């Protein structure tokens, strides 16, 4: 199965490596691409907000960013191959960008966070071509900023404005660009900046990254309640 529907959201059923092969080909062919990395919060939002659901329908690819989505696909007996998180996908795409000399643009986070993320990315990928960056405290109607970014002709545009703002920004302005892979990445810049700690590998392998983050940030408890509610809804509504 190439696509899997979970709570009215159509996920593309590829492994990380398969996604990377597809994205590399599209980047080299200069095909515009809109990627959503969707977790249970995003799926829940899409089911309560018709405008946001329509925005997700415009995506070229939707990955399962969140073990809850993968578990839901198994409950529905249409299992997704694996979780493909935004942070991990960003890391792989940055590696590709350095290899292929692609132009990268970073949009999101606050200035200090963005600068730390930029420096850490450059430290890990010294030859990467980051052509520009801008903080995320923007009005999505701001056409001047879009014009600045368009003029730089980036191949990869990482948009970390948080959902739904990042997806709204992409769908509103993508038509202005002649090429580019646009991807919404939530709080990934915070992790690159070292301000949010990624779970150790063993926690990730055990699919307990959500628990690690909850321990690190107890204030996320209310947000984490989305996961059990989401899975209960999937169980109740399954055929």
Specify the pLDDT at position 214.
63
Specify the pLDDT at position 208.
66
Specify the pLDDT at position 67.
85
| Average pLDDT rounded to a whole number, residues 91-99 | 97
Residue of 236, 226, 190 lying closest to 38 (CA atoms): 226
Specify the pLDDT at position 16.
96
Confidence tier at 196 by pLDDT (50, 70, 90): confident
| Average pLDDT rounded to a whole number, residues 35-55 | 94
Percentage of the chain beyond pLDDT 70 is 88
Q: Which two tokens stand for residue 94?
A: 């940055």
| Average pLDDT rounded to a whole number, residues 20-25 | 97
| Average pLDDT rounded to a whole number, residues 55-66 | 95
Specify the pLDDT at position 232.
78
| Average pLDDT rounded to a whole number, residues 212-229 | 65
């Amino acid at each position: 199965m190439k696509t899997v529907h979970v709570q009215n959201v159509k996920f593309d059923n590829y492994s990380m490596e398969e996604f990377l092969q597809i994205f590399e080909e599209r980047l080299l062919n200069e095909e515009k691409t809109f990627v959503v990395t969707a977790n249970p919060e995003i799926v829940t939002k899409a089911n309560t907000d018709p405008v946001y659901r329509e925005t997700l329908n415009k995506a070229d690819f939707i990955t399962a960013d969140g073990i809850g989505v993968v578990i839901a696909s198994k409950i529905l007996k249409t299992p997704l191959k694996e979780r493909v998180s935004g942070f991990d996908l960003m890391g792989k795409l940055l590696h590709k960008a350095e290899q292929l000399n692609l132009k990268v643009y970073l949009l999101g986070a606050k200035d200090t966070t963005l600068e730390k993320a930029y420096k850490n990315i450059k430290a890990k990928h010294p030859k990467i071509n980051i052509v520009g960056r801008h903080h995320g405290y923007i009005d999505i109607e701001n056409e001047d900023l879009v014009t600045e970014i368009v003029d730089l002709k980036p191949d990869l545009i990482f948009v970390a404005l948080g959902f739904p703002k990042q997806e709204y920004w992409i769908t509103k302005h993508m038509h202005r660009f002649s090429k580019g892979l646009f991807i919404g990445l939530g709080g990934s810049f915070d992790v690159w900046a070292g301000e949010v700690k990624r779970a150790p590998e063993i926690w990730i392998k055990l699919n307990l990254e959500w628990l690690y983050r909850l321990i690190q940030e107890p204030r996320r408890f209310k947000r984490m309640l989305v996961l059990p509610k989401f899975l209960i809804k999937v169980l109740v509504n399954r055929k």
